[in-house]
Structure 1
Amino acid sequence: MRKHWILGASAIILASSVLACGKKQEDVSTTAQGTEKAAETTAAAEEKADYVFVKMTVPYADFYYGELKDIAPEEGKDVKAQLDAEDKVAKDGFRETGMYDSVSSPTKEKVEKFVMADGAVEGEGSVYKGIKHVNVAIPKSLYEDAKKALEEKKESKNALLTLMGAIESEVSTEPKEYKVLNSDGTLSKTQGTTTEAKDAKADITTTSSYGNYEIDVDGLDIDSEIVQGAILETKDGAKYGLKHEDNIWLKPEELAFSAVAFEDKNHKAQKEFKRFEDLQDKDIVKITYFLMDEDD
């Protein structure tokens, strides 16, 4: 059975990222308004100067927690590491098997092709643990405090020090989109802008070799090498994160997921379905792609 939807006009809306929303300010003509706008710009610039921007390898659980839980960036300039704060990501079940843990595959040929995935060959198969090259902003005070804790070989009850240890490099300029690392070890939802692919069309079918459901998007112009993740959103507001090899393929216009037990007979592998169990009979209204270093 196949259903056909026009993106942006019907059941599925395709956007490139779930990001901060805000109204575009009108042109300012008076001196008072101009001064106020300049002050706001200066304040925003000073706020950005309080961050250290980095590239980071992030586990799926930590990446999607901020998006699905709508986590906001922490406020305040003098932010210190909360090493004893509970692991909220684990508490809410995101690290459980079948949720947002690692993806295991019986094949190893695609590891190098999934450029954005933190994948590795293990024996005759492969494992995908998360997402590489994620832009993250860290408050300077938190960066220094957590860095010191790492040097002193301290431990953290949450993922703060693990994430700090997963920094790939520092970035000299503010990225177009980024997450913010909070002192309790959580990452915020992505900060940036949104682009809607109004001309794209999608088909969803219950006949697929890769899951109970497969979505094929026509008219989507996205380079697979910059796809860091994707989210399905339903009419009731529920969101579901997708993982490389399990749901996201080398052709990003092809997505698949399982809501009940399913075997990929081509590879003799069971597909994860736990996090999609309640998605059956719901209307998918949005697909969100997260793209590296793009004005999403």
Structure 2
Amino acid sequence: MNNYTKLAAAIMLAASTSFAGTSCDDYDNKETSTGEASDFQKSISGTFVELFSEDGFTASKYNDYWVECCAKYTGSTYAGQAMYDMLKTSMTGTIYGAEAQAKYGDGTNGFPNGYQFNCGFIGGVAKFVIDGKKITGLDANSKVVFSHEYTQIDEKNGCYYLKSDDGNEDQFKYFFFMGDTPAETYHLEFRYGNDSVAFRDFFSGQYAYWLASAMLEDETEANRKACIKLFCDENLADYVPTYVYATTDMTWAEFYAGELDKTATSLEEQGLDAVTSATNVKGARFSNAIFELDGETASKIAGVKAVNVAIEANLYNALSDKSRFTVLADAPTDYKVYNEDGSFGKWNSTVATQTATATLTSGFDAKWGNYVISLDGLQDVTTANLQGAVLTTTDGSKYGLQFLNNLWLKPAEFTFCVAEFTEPHGCARAYKHTADLEGKTISNITYILKDTVNVSADMNIYVKKQTSATVTTSAATAGDNVEISLAIENAPEDAAFALSTVKKGSGKGATTLTADDYSYANGKLTLKGSTTSGDIYTVSFASDKYVNIGATITLQ
């Protein structure tokens, strides 16, 4: 039995439990009354037509709304249409009783051949008019089929049991209503007949596979749609769509569209595009990169390869071109859902939170971008499993990071820019997709990993503002206790720059000096001890609000 058939069976089994298990043996001897209608009888007054009909909520004009409501649970409009077709078909059968039982079985072995429930009116009735105690049945020509007054003789399991006051023994002797009312659920569900015991059986006996459903003839459009939505919400809440799992290559914009809640086109316009590199070595070391050579020495990374995706089965079958997808034999642990507009949703993945200490390097001290953040203590993230990463700020904004442009071979460090920047190898960093990080506070980074749990690390890093301030130095000649004048120019009034580090040497071999090695006061730096011509020193000034500024000094 497929998912749709199982669901339809579940819907009717849920309804049947309200009637099954009630004791109906004494109803023939129950006395009726000429008193007032019960509160329930008053609550269902009105003229009713069949729910599952062109007069009810399955009128053709509601098809799109049905599909919309179903698609909320099925994952695509293709599946939404299939679900609606199933629901409508399963509730609009034309047979019931012994004939239906012979065709569909009694439910003890499931429903291997499927089934249809008859939710229409029987006994020649096309409309019911309920007015307090009085229930009248009209045929298609508005002629009276029957008309009796009824007494509520019982209430059990949320169901209401009515018996005719007139002593008639025809199929309109009893009415058994579920607890639905037009005011609360916009419809009625009920059975009627002359055998109160047989009402307990939904899949066998003379009433098998029949449950009348009705809606007010003059019900408002708003309530008709509310009834459709309620039906879908109640019956599809636990529905699990059937997916085809596959892998596909994605551009950076496709990869991040779901996470950033933007379209791929808008992300491309923001500069989230292929990353170029001056070498053809480093990019190839990212296992999940779409790596392409660009000439003899350069390369580019166009996006992320072999990303796990889930495609709702009906949507997949409807695709005219499936060539971009490689179907997987088993469901992956992590995936993005493919949408029918061709986009990809957010990650479906478990996230593990790690504790790591974040440190910011900015401005003059950041050689590979406007900013570099280092995470001490980060684990489990490698170039073999890394697919991407998302930064989140305290205002809820999100930013996608790319191999080489932002993410390095050592994933515990990453960089980004908010303005034009050229790194030491001569490659211009993409910056437009992270430009508005300036002045914000980064609260989290989540690494997206292949075939394993994603890794999240919280932080509290303020992205300092850029500045045009500079440090100028006087010429310096090597010798003992060399004194150098330092001046800060064009500094913002609120910058409050202070000398933060003095280093000797260049690149990775530079050594950070201690207070025993130098002194600084009144704009003059004194290098203690002896120095040699050609020695290189760098000075860096830090501010709480602005990126670091500095200068390089070569002794004469």
Structures share fold, TM-score greater than 0.5: yes
Q: Which amino acid aligns with 2:309?
A: V
The corresponding residue for 1:58 is: 250
Q: Does 1:254 align with 2:413?
A: yes
Query: Which residue number in structure 1 is paired with residue 431 of structure 2?
Result: 273
Answer yes or no: is the 8 Å Cα contact 1:56–1:134 preserved in 2. yes
Q: Which of residues 260, 267, 276 in structure 2 aligns to 1:68? A: 260
SS at match of 2:291: strand
Q: Secondary structure at the match of 1:129?
A: strand
Q: Are the counterparts in 1 of residues 267 and 433 from structure 2 also a CA contact under 8 Å?
A: no
The answer to whether the 8 A contact 1:228-1:290 is kept is yes
Say whether residues 1:89 and 2:264 are aligned partners: yes
How much has 1:137 moved relative to structure 2?
0.1
* Mapped partners of 2:335, 2:386: distance in 1: 14
Deviations 1:65-94 (A, max 9, x none): 100008xxxxxxxxxxxxxxxxx421xx21
SS of the aligned residue for 1:95 comes to helix
Contact 1:133–1:292 (8 Å) recurs in 2:
no
Residue identity matched to 2:390: I
Partner residue of 1:293? 451
* Unmatched tracts of structure 1, length 5 or more: 1-42, 71-87, 151-163
Which residue in the other structure is 2:285 paired with?
113
Q: How many Å apart are 1:99 and its aligned residue? A: 2.1
Separation in 1, partners of 2:423, 2:298: 15
The residue identity in structure 2 corresponding to 1:137 is A
Alpha-carbon displacement from aligned partner over 1:101-127 (angstroms, at most 9, x marks no partner): 111112111232111111111102101
SS in 1 for 2:435: helix
Displacement of 1:131 after TM fit? 0.5
- Whole-angstrom CA distance in 1 between matches of 2:422 and 2:264: 28
- Structure 1 residues 4-83: aligned runs within 5 Å: 47=240, 50-69=242-261
The one-letter code sitting in structure 2 at the alignment partner of 1:223 is: T
Q: What SS class does the counterpart of residue 318 from structure 2 fall into? A: helix
The secondary structure found in structure 2 opposite 1:120 is: strand
Displacement, 1:253?
0.6
Question: How many Å apart are 1:133 and its aligned residue?
Answer: 2.1
Partner-residue secondary structure (3-state), 1:67 = helix
Whether the 8 Å contact between 2:418 and 2:434 is mirrored in structure 1 is yes
SS in 1 for 2:254: helix
Give aligned-pair identity as a percent: 36
Q: Please give the alpha-carbon distance, in whole angstroms, between the structure 1 residues aligned to 2:413 and 2:401.
A: 12
Task: Determine if contact 1:58/1:166 at 8 Å carries over to the other structure.
Answer: no
What is the distance in 1 between the residues matched to 2:323 and 2:412? 33
Matched residue, 1:180: 337
Moved beyond 2 Å, runs of 4+ = 164-167
Q: Provide Cα deviations, 1:8-62, integer angstroms capped at 9, x if missing partner.
A: xxxxxxxxxxxxxxxxxxxxxxxxxxxxxxxxxxx97x725x1110111111101
Q: Tell me the equivalent position of 2:346.
A: 189
Aligned to 2:375: 217
Q: Displacement of 1:208 after TM fit?
A: 1.5
**TM-score under structure 1 normalisation?**
0.69
Write 1 or 2 for the structure with the bigger share of strand: 2
Of the candidates 201, 212, 216, which is equivalent to residue 357 of structure 2? 201
CA distance in 1, matches of 2:301, 2:324: 15
Structure-2 separation of matches of 1:216 and 1:250 = 13
Counterpart of 1:131? 304
Whichever residue aligns with residue 178 of structure 1, its letter is: Y
- Specify the alignment match of 1:25 in structure 2: none
Partner in structure 2 of residue 3 of structure 1 = none
1:122 corresponds to which of 287, 291, 294? 294
Q: After TM superposition, give the deviation of residue 187 of structure 1 in Å.
A: 0.3
Distance 2:245 2:350 in 1: 18
2:352 & 2:428 partners in 1: Cα distance?
35
Paired residues in the alignment total 214
Name which one, 1 or 2, has greater alpha-carbon Rg: 2
Do structure 1's residue 166 and structure 2's residue 358 form an aligned pair? no
CA distance, structure 2, for counterparts of residue 110 and residue 165 of structure 1? 30
In structure 2, the residue matched to 1:235 is 394
Letter in 2 for 1:133: A
- Shift of the alpha carbon at 1:95? 1.6
The letter for the 2-side match of 1:229 is: G
- The alpha carbon displacement at 1:140 in A equals 1.1
Q: What residue identity is the alignment partner of 1:203?
A: T
- How big is the shift at 1:269? 1.3
CA distance in 2, matches of 1:111, 1:281: 31
Give the aligned partner of residue 83 of structure 2: none
Instruction: Name which structure has the greater RCO, CA cutoff 8 Å, separation 6+.
Output: 1
Once residues 269 and 192 of structure 1 are traced to their aligned partners in structure 2, the CA distance between those partners, rounded to angstroms, is 34
Equivalent of residue 144 in structure 1, options 298, 312, 317 = 317
Structure 1 CA distance for aligned equivalents of residues 382 and 422 of structure 2: 28
Cα distance in 2 for partners of 1:106, 1:225 equals 22
Cα distance in 2, alignment partners of residues 178 and 212 from structure 1: 33
**3-state SS in 2 of match to 1:134:** strand
* 8 Å CA contact 1:107, 1:126 repeated in 2: yes
Instruction: Report the residue type matching 2:258 in the other structure.
Output: G
Alignment root-mean-square deviation, CA: 1.6
Q: Contact (CA 8 Å) 2:283, 2:403: kept in 1 or not?
A: no
